[in-house]
Amino acid sequence: MATRQCPHCGKEVFDRMTQCPYCREALGAVPQIRGDSVRDAQGRGMIRQGLLCILLAAVVHYFAGGYSAMQLPYPIQPMVTVYLSPLLFLCGLGLSSFGLYVRFTA
């Protein structure tokens, strides 16, 4: 069985109990999370992670491609700008679109 913390004494009690066996105080109802809201929250998280990947790919491509006026102290391999930053961009795009799919099918 799942447990939760008593709000009065702080000890762990079973979530099905209506009264704490330690302090004898009445426990409130356990809030139930619907499955749709959980899927919606997961979809939002995936969208956010995908957008962060897209932003990271843009920043990496900007600095590794030499578009910045700042000189980096070490050379960046061309493989980063040719393969890795576009791959990160596409992965972020895919994660964002899958998050949209999960969110709107919930």
At residue 5, φ and ψ (nearest 5 deg) are: -90, 135
Q: Name the DSSP letter for residue 19.
A: B
- Report the distance separating Cα 51 and Cα 58, nearest Å: 11
Query: Bridge-partner residues for 4, per DSSP?
Result: 13
Q: How far apart are CA 75 and CA 63, in angstroms?
A: 11
Is residue 97 within 8 Å of residue 50, measured between CB atoms? yes
- The residue ranges of every structural domain in the chain are 1-32, 35-105
pLDDT tens sequence for the chain (106 residues): 688 889 899 999 998 888 999 999 998 887 666 666 777 888 899 999 999 999 999 999 999 998 999 888 888 899 999 999 999 999 999 999 999 999 888 6
- For residue 78, what pLDDT is reported? 92
What's the pLDDT score for residue 16? Answer: 86
SS3 of 70, please?
Answer: coil
* 13 membership: H or E segment, kind and range: strand 12-14
| 0.75 surpassed by pTM | no
